[in-house]
Structure 1
């Protein structure tokens, strides 16, 4: 009986020892597996956990190992740690240095197509008289050079013709007086064809034709329409393009009065609006590529021909003109997009993320022992993700690549500068 008892006890002890050994090996395997598997988290958002390195999906910061040993910051005393964040920030972040480069600044602007006022011509009355025949009836009517536009009866012209005929009949040998009479008629607006007709027939012309010296469209009659006979509804419903000209047959005109203004729409300019932060880099002669909104395939290449030295109305943008031949007859007043290619700008350049704007001031975080020092800088041009540093930094300085990570909105009130 004793032998069976001891045999039973021995079996129980062996089984228990075997099970304990198995559990111990499994625990070791699990611990070993857990130890070899690293977890990565974000220092700003500890709820983010990944089994591989990368960037935080929330703030974009580089992930760190969850069980990594903290980076040791040497020479950091208690006084440094107690400094306000507007003076010193203890942190370990990626850094960069200002780069001395020549950067080409492409500027994208918007504008409109306007008529070139240099291509404008006025048709004026050289004598006082009455309009007998009018050949232009409505605004924006097409006109070509040499086209007859109006016939005028003028007592002055009639008298000058009769003087010429009298001299030709009574004193044909006095060529000087006859030539002077002919010249007077030409200066009063009579054409050489009409003058020869008067001499050949011996009879004066009661109406003299006025011809256009310009090609284009009737842009404005140069007179204020008489709207006293039109009621308010008729004036509001009349489109400017379809409105008749103020000049009518039977009206009297005065010497020197502008009857028509002809605008050549084949000559135009693009008025490009330049914002204040771009005005310092846009110069006359810069190459421009213009894309009209009405026809994106009609790319216009030109240069900045003139920069207007004033603001239009209440606008805070200045206007740069690009003259071009409007052979495709793009609509006056239509919108355009333009790319201005400026000259290369030399200077120190930083990523825009490295500079923080605080209203009137701008700061970069200068690398110092164990942390970053808030440092005031003066910036210039901003383009393509870069900012020009005018003062406050040198090419030997090191600053934080992203200044946003070092800002404390509640305590960052003042700027510490050297």
Structure 2
């Protein structure tokens, strides 16, 4: 019998004519299977005339593509606080995100403390008009308590105290309830019901001295909060140039630099947030989305065209030219930038590989990698 003869069915040997004997093999488990053991093709060597290339040692500018949102710049936020205790007689601000300008009247309040201070000034003017220092001190106290110059002059001219004193804004921007964070503002801007929601302060309510009444966010000062994925976090640093394209107005592109990288993860996110401060003269909506390219400087190393690298899941290979054919060779890659892949290990500048690794795949077999 000729042992090299194997058939899938009973029969006779085609060489000597003897009856073929059934071959029995016991099943056995295989442990510690390696990638090289599993990836076995029909042939370990591919003969072809595909174009080849070599890994190039060069310095490449690596643009990192990221996404983000427009947020208020909290450095430009201002708070309006109560200088005296009292009751709100008239409120001129009605809902969140209402626009307000510097010097605009926002409420009228009645304050016993202000009334008493006015009466003290009027008493000095009537009984001790020559005591200039006391009179000036009384006037200064009223100004510090929030009374305007016009209201003070009116009190002195009429000789009667004002029971309702106006409060004015010292900032321009959008009105927020006291205690609202930047994240709350961005989330609420996406909800029409939240935008038109009434403020927590109402007419007739009492306020306390030092109480923060409103936050005014300057909509002309904003930052782009860019989300940097884990794989790119080691590349991005403060000062890197950024080109930002807003989705709401692609013509209003913004060029800037990374001004600050937050040293924590927001919420349950696994991305770092980088801020780019800018003047929002185009009035981009707060909470709108942007796309940006961060130019994270040059990276020196060995680079291959992306088409020459084939991903096998947890491993990557390139087809190394050897003895007139190609062998699948395991490599370790690093940064991917456009059509270039950084080679960390597995190849050197003298190795020749196939330009397009996809053409060398046998769809009916695996690939066996060769170690160098």
TM-score where L is the length of structure 2? 0.74
After TM superposition, give the deviation of residue 302 of structure 1 in Å: 2.7
- Where 1:296 maps in the other structure, the secondary structure is coil
Check if 1:384 corresponds to 2:338. yes
What is the CA-CA distance between 1:202 and the residue it aligns to?
Answer: 3.1
1:272 aligns with 2:226: yes
Which residue is equivalent to 1:196?
Answer: 153
Q: Write out aligned runs for 1:172-191 (5 A).
A: 172-191=129-148
Q: 1:258 to 1:131 in 2, by over 3 A?
A: same
Asked whether the equivalents of residues 222 and 259 of structure 1 are also in contact (C-alpha less than 8 Å), the reply is: no
Alignment of 1:273-352 (within 5 A): 273-352=227-306
> What's the offset of the Cα at 1:412?
5.3
Partner SS state of residue 255, structure 1:
coil
Distance 2:339 2:38 in 1: 26
| Alignment partners' CA distance in 2, 1:169 and 1:107 | 74
Contact 2:241 2:295 in 1 (8 A): yes
> What secondary structure, in the 3-state scheme, does the structure 2 residue paired with 1:239 have?
helix
Secondary structure of 1:183's counterpart equals: helix
Matched, 1:130 2:84: no
In 2, are the aligned partners of 1:84 and 1:411 still within 8 Å (CA)? no
2:211 is matched with 257
How many angstroms does 1:252 deviate by?
Answer: 0.5
- Residues 417/185 of structure 1: CA separation in 2 closer, same or farther (3 Å cut): farther
| Partner SS for 2:242 | strand
Q: Structure 1: 5+ residue runs without aligned partners?
A: 1-82, 224-236
Deviation digits for residues 243-268 of structure 1 (CA, Å, limit 9, x no counterpart): 22222211101112122222222222
Q: Tell me the SS of whatever aligns to 1:378.
A: strand
Structure 2 partner of 1:246 = 200
Quick check: 1:100 aligned with 2:54? Answer: no
Displacement, 1:350?
1.0
* Deviation string, structure 1 residues 223-277 (Cα, Å, up to 9, x no partner): 9xxxxxxxxxxxxx98222222222211101112122222222222222232233
Q: Which residue of 2 aligns with 1:148?
A: 105
Q: Which residue of 2 aligns with 1:7?
A: none
Q: Which has the larger radius of gyration?
A: 1
Give the C-alpha shift of residue 417 in structure 1: 4.5
- 1:209-228: CA deviation from partner (whole Å, max 9, x where unpaired): 110011122233659xxxxx
Whose relative contact order is higher, 1 or 2, with alpha carbons under 8 Å and at least 6 apart? 2
Q: Which has the higher helix share?
A: 1
Q: Provide the rounded CA distance (Å) in 2 between the counterparts of 1:244 and 1:85.
A: 66
What root-mean-square deviation, in Å, do the aligned CA atoms of Structure 1 and Structure 2 show? Answer: 3.2
Distance 1:203 1:389, change over 3 A: same
**Deviation by residue 1:316-337 (Cα, 9 ceiling, x = unmatched):** 2322322222222222222223
**TM-score when normalising by structure 1:** 0.67
Distance change in 2, residues 1:84/1:252 (3 Å): closer
> C-alpha displacement at 1:86, in angstroms?
5.9
| SS of equivalent residue, structure 2 residue 348 | coil
Q: Distance in 2 between matches of 1:117 and 1:251?
A: 28
User: For the residues of structure 2 that align with 1:160 and 1:417, how far apart are their CA atoms?
Assistant: 90
Change (3 A) 1:177 1:375: farther
Q: Deviations over 1:154-178 (max 9, x none)?
A: 1112222222333344444544444
